[in-house]
Structure 1
């Protein structure tokens, strides 16, 4: 019996020693993967609490833990509403990472914990609010009841067609909302993250600058870091088509360039700006969120002084389009995260889609150069016809041509992580927004419901 007790005591001591050693290791030198996880959790909770007004526990569970790596379930998040600070720690103790709410500029990751510097990087401006204008959409938030289509509404109510964890769907035809639907806990006034749909909006901001002659497709010597370097010959058009030739690891399964950029680096531009050239610019398609950050920094440098650059999205695009809910988030140093972080309501995402449908013209005023939207619909040769010269997609989510799904050939897409899509169908004068928390591994394809919508409208027209 004494031998057994000694064994148990020895095992207990060993467990304690291992726990102490593990705790010391996690405290002194935690794995970067834990820092990335905590950075992701802090940022997502921060944005959804302060921009979308959601409950932090719901966001942590639904948006961070439920669809992700099992280790994410061990993260614990603290929200300080008074200071706007959010902290996430593994098991509530280790590898802390942070986010900070900055009002009009939403939330930013603060991986170095320097909240003061992060607060000073952008001006303190009032946060945008969803417009209260009762005019009929798109001029306001009112919906033309006469334009409503009961058959389309029935399609949106079909859970099989809507897909898992749908949060917003909006169908616009002939410039009017004909049907919309929202998931439990979400509404027409809930701002939702577009993830990589932000890239296309970022490209439109470049188009706005082109109208004033401050930037052009053929521009080279785009960043001071590339002076006296072969990268100085990269053209703006190479970046717009994801053909820069720069190395960038977009694998989200581990600590890759993209996760390091978003959650470990206070200056997100620094990583892609220092990336080596691995292919001849203009010859090789390589999807890269780093490229979108470079584009943000480039147009911000061209827009004027730092304050003018920070004001530019609202002055040049969101204001004219009436996208009153739009919050374009910036990194800790003040560069817009043009790869990922634009929040807007489903109706405001539909406004942007309608803007592209109208060839960059709004209320009779041309806001994008002639041919710019056509460029957004023109494929790059190196992408095999999938990606366009203007940060948009011709293939729908999950791949496949429009013809494979019976969709019109002129359909093009904005696409974002976890099921964010805007489809633009010029030949049908239609825009379709579908947003949610629908990871790609679930296999959901919004092309199916879009085909049903178009078929229903076509049948009604023929009848």
Structure 2
């Protein structure tokens, strides 16, 4: 009995040591899945708390935990003056996301918050549009004559689960809009992959300025092998051939890049090829991260590069709420992390619908205006040459829903979309928290809105003096 007692005692001690050792190992080397979870939570809570002014606890519960991985239920948060810290069960996998005015939040994967704080804008523009101006240059909206369109906004099935905002633009005017509980026209919303199409417009502007070329190759210093053949046009059409994963929920290339890498573009630059450039379509967030590094490298001054999206795109079309976020290294995360109000996303959609013309000023080059809604052969007609989609979220031809052939889309994770129909002078923005597993697509709603807008009178044009105020010759205000 004495021997048995000793054995049990030693077994108990060994088990205790094993538990303590495992706990210590987890503390020092937490699994990547847990790190991705806490880093993701830090990032989403930080951006929504500081940019959208939402309650951090609500964001954690509603945006992070409710639709996410079960492990996220055990993430805890602390909000500080300019950052959010998270951890798992109160002690494991602590991660931090830091806020900077005008640049939003960035993760600090190694805990180097000073490196994140060092990336900042010298001048931060005011976030609120001039309310005395008629939309799109201001936020005054004079809608009328479209009650059927507005009535469609109250159809929960059409709007979809988790809807946060719908904005309908016809002939350059907002004719209807609706917002989910707790959200309004003033709430900046995460567009996820709609940021890819924004990145495309910025690249196009640098091409128009002669700083880049569509057929330019040898794009990054790391690409000295077959990757040197990758052209900007390949990245724009998602046919670079880079071996990048694109799936969500667990640890893979896109989640590791966005939440665990201090330099996202360096991570992408280190990837090899799985196909020759220009020979295979594969949609990847890393492609637009590489494009962000490439267009930013076309500036000799980093501060000029950081200010460029606002100077070249956001301010000229009144998108003053728009914030494109960077990583710790200061490169825009141009594949997914951008916030703007639904009205500002509608401004962007209107610019594309009008083929880059904004009140008579050609903000975007005309060759890009053709690219953005021209489908590529390698994508089998689904994707365009300008980082946009020819099919909606349900990946069926537009004609299946009664939508015109010229319809094209910007799309983002969890139910974000902008439908643009040039032939109808129509833009429909739909934002929400709508995981793809719910099976919702906005195409039917857009088709019904289109039909209702056809049947009703067009809003009168604003008086000439208002047009003079909102449509400056230099495209600025």
* TM-score, scaled to structure 2: 0.91
Answer whether contact 1:104 1:124 (CA < 8 A) is retained: no
1:394 aligned to 366, 371, 390, which one?
390
Distance 1:352 1:303 in 2: 24
1:10 Cα deviation after fit:
11
Counterpart residue number, 1:210: 207
Counterpart residue number, 1:366: 362
Please tell me the root mean square deviation across aligned C-alpha atoms, in Å: 2.1
**Shift in CA distance, 456/14, structure 1 to aligned 2, threshold 3 Å:** farther
1:247 aligns to 2:243 (yes or no): yes
Counterpart residue number, 1:383: 379
1:57 aligns to 2:49 (yes or no): no
Counterpart residue number, 1:307: 303
**Shift in CA distance, 405/139, structure 1 to aligned 2, threshold 3 Å:** same
1:22 Cα deviation after fit:
3.8
How far does the alpha carbon of each residue in 1:420-452 deviate from its partner, in whole angstroms, 9 at most, with x for none?
000001111000000000000000110011111
1:145 Cα deviation after fit:
3.1
- Kindly report which structure 2 residues correspond to 1:34-433, keeping only aligned pairs within 5 A, or say none: 34-80=34-80, 82=81, 84-123=82-121, 125-126=123-124, 128-146=126-144, 149-227=146-224, 229-433=225-429
Instruction: List alignment gaps of at least 5 residues for structure 2.
Output: 1-5, 459-477
Answer whether contact 1:77 1:87 (CA < 8 A) is retained: yes
Q: Which moved more, 1:405-414 or 1:114-123?
A: 114-123
Distance 1:256 1:233 in 2: 26
Distance 2:68 2:125 in 1: 30
Counterpart residue number, 1:33: 33
How far does the alpha carbon of each residue in 1:291-349 deviate from its partner, in whole angstroms, 9 at most, with x for none?
00000000111134111111100110001011010111000010000001110000000
SS at 2:428 equivalent: strand
Answer whether contact 1:211 1:367 (CA < 8 A) is retained: no
Distance 1:125 1:17 in 2: 55
How far does the alpha carbon of each residue in 1:187-236 deviate from its partner, in whole angstroms, 9 at most, with x for none?
00000011000000000001111221111111111111113x22111111
SS at 2:205 equivalent: helix
1:168 Cα deviation after fit:
0.6
**Shift in CA distance, 145/455, structure 1 to aligned 2, threshold 3 Å:** closer
Q: Which moved more, 1:429-438 or 1:128-137?
A: 128-137
Answer whether contact 2:42 2:107 (CA < 8 A) is retained: yes
Distance 2:420 2:15 in 1: 59
* TM-score, scaled to structure 1: 0.94
Answer whether contact 2:122 2:303 (CA < 8 A) is retained: no
SS at 1:382 equivalent: coil
Distance 1:151 1:371 in 2: 37
Answer whether contact 1:165 1:437 (CA < 8 A) is retained: yes
1:371 Cα deviation after fit:
2.5
Answer whether contact 1:103 1:127 (CA < 8 A) is retained: no
How far does the alpha carbon of each residue in 1:72-112 deviate from its partner, in whole angstroms, 9 at most, with x for none?
101001110x2x12111011210111100011100001111
1:459 Cα deviation after fit:
3.6
Answer whether contact 2:403 2:447 (CA < 8 A) is retained: yes
Answer whether contact 1:297 1:335 (CA < 8 A) is retained: yes
